[in-house]
Chains A and B, each alone.
Chain A
Amino acid sequence: MRYVINAMRMNLRRAAQYRASFWMQTLAQLVMTFGDLWAMLLLAERFGGMAHWSLHEVMFFFGPMQIAFAITEMINRGFGHITTLIRMGSLDTMLTRPRGIAAQVILSELDPRRIGSVAVGLTALIVATRELGVCWTLPNILLILWGMAGAIALMMGLFMLEAVVCLFSVQSVEIVNVFTYGGRQTCQYPLDLYPQWLRITFTFVIPVGLCLQYPICHILGKSLGGVEARAWVWLSPLAGPFFLGLMWLLWRWGLRHYRSTGS
């Protein structure tokens, strides 16, 4: 635990060293997320809402998804940069240390700049809450936090999956990015806007639907793709930790078969 705290402090100090750059990059994150929100606003205006969802309902999906993804990237940048770690041989150094590899990879780079995306996501959520008159009762608050926690675990699992692929081939980075960044892009809208095969993929294979979207539907009192969101939404975010657990086993397996890129 001392190691964890120490590493976090060093990461923050590193970010604080280049102050202008830090704020610029935070602003860049903010602009990027705002770009997505802007696209959403334009679409809703052009088509008068989105199918059977109103703009503010869609924003209610957008906010938590962006926040969860940003938090994932904040704590999980190390896995996102695994190719660099492999190419530079840093991963090999880590393997010699008497600490958990996953912990070392994660703590090798924390990324506080994602706070920019969190800010936009939070704004969207607040605006949507006001417009829709959502009542933040204690169960609702707990449910959304629990859903976001599930989604964060799920996306950490996805980054881990990418890392496993990278253990075997540092070439195919861009392809695996499809799952993470493509997933964020897709799941910032309600899934029932998409054709069935996409909806099923993002509900059961990469269960963002189970983690985040059904709980959100429960809070809004709406159904998603004809499925009523009842009390079972309290259990469905478990899909996230379950997915992460599977990926962690895969990562362990990958590491046992890992051959360094050599020097």
Chain B
Amino acid sequence: MNFRAYRTAFAVHARQVSRYRGAAIGGMVTQAFFGVMLVALYSALAGEGELLRQTATYVWLQQIFFRAFFTTGGEINEQIMSGSVCYSLLRPIDLHFWCVCREMAAKIVGVSMRILPMFLIQFILPENWRMLPPNSLVGFIQFFLSLLIGFCVIAQVNMITAAVTMRTLDNKGFSGLINLVMMILSGNIIPLTLAPERLQAILRWQPFAQMLDAPIRMYLHTASLGEWALSFGVQLAWLVGLTLFSRALWGHNIRRIELQGG
């Protein structure tokens, strides 16, 4: 397989995303506001201490990497509605993988643009409300690797919602529902670490926790080799499962596409 086409798709889309500075600033203001609100609330509840610092760190990491949840999947559906999808289909490429490359480009570039400013914003807050530094260098490396897989997991879920939208041609209905469930179960609305122990035992292993929750846990606590292997393995397992599922959906959909007119 020749990877050049996919590398180009990645690079071109990365450059496109990097143009949207205005959107990035708007997004960061919103994320910062929500971050402050949540941390203010948790500080009222948790008081000062280790729990607050860890929860604040969780909230800020969620806000910093929030952009990764966004999808460019709307594009393929616009193509389908306008009919220009036939050009994409004519290209000698794997359309699914090509779109994944674009998703990943948007995520990596979009997030990179926001990391530094967001980090500085939270740094002007009182000390209790700030992020903690990573637990250790090993923990940070674990976090980073896990985060990359997390992005891939999000991309696959994005591809699944795109596949659903292809069927229904309605991006607010069922796909919107999947996105909302993603927000709730990924720890964006409330840190999953605050759930009761019994519930966490379930929450930790569901697919949406593999996105940002699993990496953030490694940032907060350096995992032992066994823990790390388990968490990493679960992430990879979900990634493989979701990839197979979304590829199956795409394959099925693309066989059924009917092009009209000429």
Contacts and interface: CB of A to CB of B under 8 A. Distances in A.
Nearest to A195: B40
Contacts of A172: 22, 26
A51 B194 contact: no
B172 A35 contact: no
A182 B190 contact: no
Interface in B81-122: none
Interface stretch (B27-35, B135-143, B145-153, B217-225): B27-35
Interface string B175-186: 011001101100
A31 B170 CA distance: 18
Contact of A178 (B23, B29, B174): B29
A38 B173 contact: no
B180 A31 contact: yes
A108 to B, nearest CB: 18
Contact of B44 (A38, A178, A182, A193): A193
A146 interface: no
A32 B26 CA distance: 23
Given A174-B29, A175-B29, A50 B177 contact: no
Contact of B194 (A32, A46, A177): A46
B49 interface: no
B181 A31 contact: yes
A178 B33 contact: yes
Interface string A21-52: 10011011001100110110011011100110
A18 B22 contact: no
Given A24-B174, A24-B177, A189-B41, A42 B33 contact: no
B195 interface: yes
A47 B22 contact: no
Contacts of B23: 174
Given A35-B180, A38-B184, A21 B44 contact: no
A31 B33 contact: no
B37 A182 contact: yes
Contacts of A195: 40
Chain A interface size, under 10 / 10 to 19 / 20 to 34 / 35 or more: 35 or more
Query: Range of interface residues on chain B?
Result: 20 to 34
A44 to B, nearest CB: 9
A32 B170 contact: no
Given A47-B45, A47-B46, A38 B190 contact: yes
B196 A182 contact: no
B196 A46 contact: yes
A21 B180 contact: no
Nearest to B46: A47
B189 interface: yes
A28 B190 contact: no
A20 B37 CA distance: 36
B40 to A, nearest CB: 5
Interface in B208-239: none
Nearest to B185: A35
B16 to A, nearest CB: 17
A194 B41 contact: yes
A173 B30 CA distance: 10
Contacts of B45: 43, 46-47, 50-51, 193
Interface of A: 18, 20-21, 24-25, 27-28, 31-32, 35-36, 38-39, 42-43, 45-47, 50-51, 171-175, 177-178, 182, 185-186, 189, 193-195, 198
Given A24-B170, A194-B41, 14 more contacts: A20-B173, A21-B168, A24-B177, A31-B177, A35-B189, A38-B189, A43-B45, A43-B190, A43-B194, A171-B22, A172-B22, A182-B30, A182-B37, A186-B37
23 contacts: A21-B168, A21-B170, A21-B172, A24-B177, A25-B173, A27-B177, A28-B180, A31-B177, A31-B184, A32-B180, A42-B190, A43-B194, A45-B196, A51-B44, A172-B26, A174-B27, A175-B30, A178-B33, A182-B33, A185-B37, A193-B40, A193-B41, A193-B45
